[in-house]
Amino acid sequence: MYIIGGTASKTVAEDLSKELGVSLADTISKRFPDDEFYVRVIDNISGEDVVIVQTTYPDPNIVELFLLQNAVEEAGAKEISVVIPYFGYARQDTKFKEGEPISAKALANLISLSADRVVTVDPHKEYILDFFSTSAYSCSAVPELAKYLKQKNIDMVLAPDKGALERVKQASKIIECDFDYMEKTRIDGSTIEIKPKKLNVENKNVAIIDDIISTGGTMAKSIQELKKHGAKNVFVACTHGLFAGDAVKKLDSAGCNEIISTDTVQSKFSKVKIAPSIAPILKELIGSV
Ligand code: R5P
């Protein structure tokens, strides 16, 4: 069995190889002068179970995943498992307006063509797993995020909207603290409204947990609301830290005390490793691990 890390997920692949005691396959990759991608798997993977690890964000990493899948298939791998730490495009999971694509489905269809199974982490909505025509599974980063937050003397965990309530409930059990949620309305891609709500956070250390931080708008508004209510320290934690545009500046200006993300998308805020959440599910799914 071999693990192959795409350029977006090298660290996760290395961590998985250690967690599972499985070799990391050697690859070489480069970009041609016109920016097209080239990859070659050096090890002989014929007849082997192969796990490809690659986040599908930003866009060039999607093409890289397709090329890796094809390389592994052409090399005669026995079974191909695709681990997608962050499944980009998952938020366009329906036609919100006539004429739009179901982007999550489009991607899932293509990935399924050369995959015996797919594992992803905290997909925006669990039902997107049904878009894959191969077996698809998810795992949660919440236990690992909660373990990190437990060291920060958190008094309360908050979900920025009701949809994320289950996540904070689970985290609160591990941290052994209270939980609550805020009421968010999305106006458009970059504008959201957090309804004022009575929150008992005076002098408390509060952590807001979400699946994604993209523009930082959701978290910034939530931090402002918490500070208004007298929160002492506000931590923001997410599984997938995209930090688009001036997201970090927005969080800092709102008074955020610490930004925490996993390494599904690698950044300087990737303080929590995701491999320990993925390894057990691979162990269960692949006989040869
Ligand atoms: C939305 O439902 C997600 O769970 C996140 O709250 C959202 O993607 C965060 O986006 P942003 O950082 O742009 O507010």
Q: What is the DSSP string of 138-155?
A: EE-SHHHHHHHHHTTT-S
Ligand 1 contact via 88 beta carbon (within 6 Å) = no
Ligand 1 contact via 81 beta carbon (within 6 Å) = no
Residues 6+ apart with CB under 8 A from 131: 93, 102, 104, 105, 108, 109
- For residue 16, which of 271, 264, 269 has the smallest C-alpha distance? 264
Residues 6+ apart with CB under 8 A from 276: 15, 19, 144
Kindly give the distance from the C-alpha atom of residue 37 to the centroid of ligand 1, in angstroms, as a whole number. Answer: 30
Ligand 1, from 181, 214, 248: best to mutate by most atoms within 8 Å of Cβ?
A: 214
Q: Starting at the edge strand that comes first in sequence, how are the strands of the sheet with 49-53 ordered?
A: 23-24, 2-5, 49-53, 79-84, 117-121, 135-139
Question: Residue 139's pLDDT is what?
Answer: 98
Question: Residue 220's pLDDT is what?
Answer: 97
Question: Residue 186's pLDDT is what?
Answer: 75
Active-site residue 97, yes or no? no
Question: Residue 191's pLDDT is what?
Answer: 75
User: d(Cα 68, Cα 52) in Å, to the nearest integer?
Assistant: 7
Query: Strand 191-195 relative to strand 183-188: parallel, antiparallel, unpaired?
Result: antiparallel
Kindly give the distance from the C-alpha atom of residue 159 to the centroid of ligand 1, in angstroms, as a whole number. Answer: 11
Task: Return the structure tokens found at 235.
Answer: 């931590």
Task: Return the structure tokens found at 227.
Answer: 């500070």
The residue from 18, 97, 169, 184 that is catalytic is 184
Question: Residue 196's pLDDT is what?
Answer: 62
Q: What angle do CA 185, 187, 189 make, to 5 degrees?
A: 110
Kindly give the distance from the C-alpha atom of residue 214 to the centroid of ligand 1, in angstroms, as a whole number. Answer: 6
Q: Which residues pair with 262 in a beta bridge?
A: 272
Ligand 1 contact via 6 beta carbon (within 6 Å) = no
Question: Residue 99's pLDDT is what?
Answer: 98
Q: Which residues pair with 194 in a beta bridge?
A: 184
- Residue 30's φ and ψ, nearest 5 degrees, are -160, 170
Side chain identity, residue 100: E
- Nearest atom of ligand 1 to the alpha carbon of 218: 14
User: d(Cα 260, Cα 270) in Å, to the nearest integer?
Assistant: 7
Ligand 1 contact via 216 beta carbon (within 6 Å) = yes
Region of 49 (left: φ > 0; alpha: ψ -120 to 50; beta: rest) is beta
Q: Is-contact 115 81, C-beta < 8 A?
A: yes
Q: Whose CA is nearest to atom 13 of ligand 1?
A: 215
- Residue 177's φ and ψ, nearest 5 degrees, are -145, 180
Looking at residue 278, what DSSP letter applies?
H
- The per-type count for the chain, helices as H runs and strands as E runs, is 8, 16
Task: Return the structure tokens found at 12.
Answer: 């996760």
Q: Whose CA is nearest to atom 7 of ligand 1?
A: 212
Task: Return the structure tokens found at 33.
Answer: 């002068």
Kindly give the distance from the C-alpha atom of residue 168 to the centroid of ligand 1, in angstroms, as a whole number. Answer: 15
Ligand 1 contact via 93 beta carbon (within 6 Å) = no
- For residue 242, which of 89, 30, 111, 96 has the smallest C-alpha distance? 89
Question: Residue 138's pLDDT is what?
Answer: 98
User: d(Cα 100, Cα 95) in Å, to the nearest integer?
Assistant: 5
Segment 103-115, tens digit of pLDDT? 999 999 999 999 9
Does an H or E element contain 119, and which? strand 117-121
Cβ neighbours around 21 below 10 Å, total:
9
Question: Residue 193's pLDDT is what?
Answer: 76
Per-residue pLDDT of the chain (289 residues; tens, 9 = 90+): 999 999 999 999 999 999 999 999 999 999 999 999 999 999 999 999 999 999 999 999 999 999 999 999 999 999 999 999 999 999 999 999 999 999 999 999 999 999 999 999 999 999 999 999 999 999 999 999 999 999 999 999 999 998 889 999 999 999 999 999 998 777 777 677 777 677 889 999 999 999 999 999 999 999 999 999 999 999 999 999 999 999 999 999 999 999 999 999 999 999 999 999 999 999 999 977 8
Task: Return the structure tokens found at 61.
Answer: 């990493």
Question: Residue 146's pLDDT is what?
Answer: 98
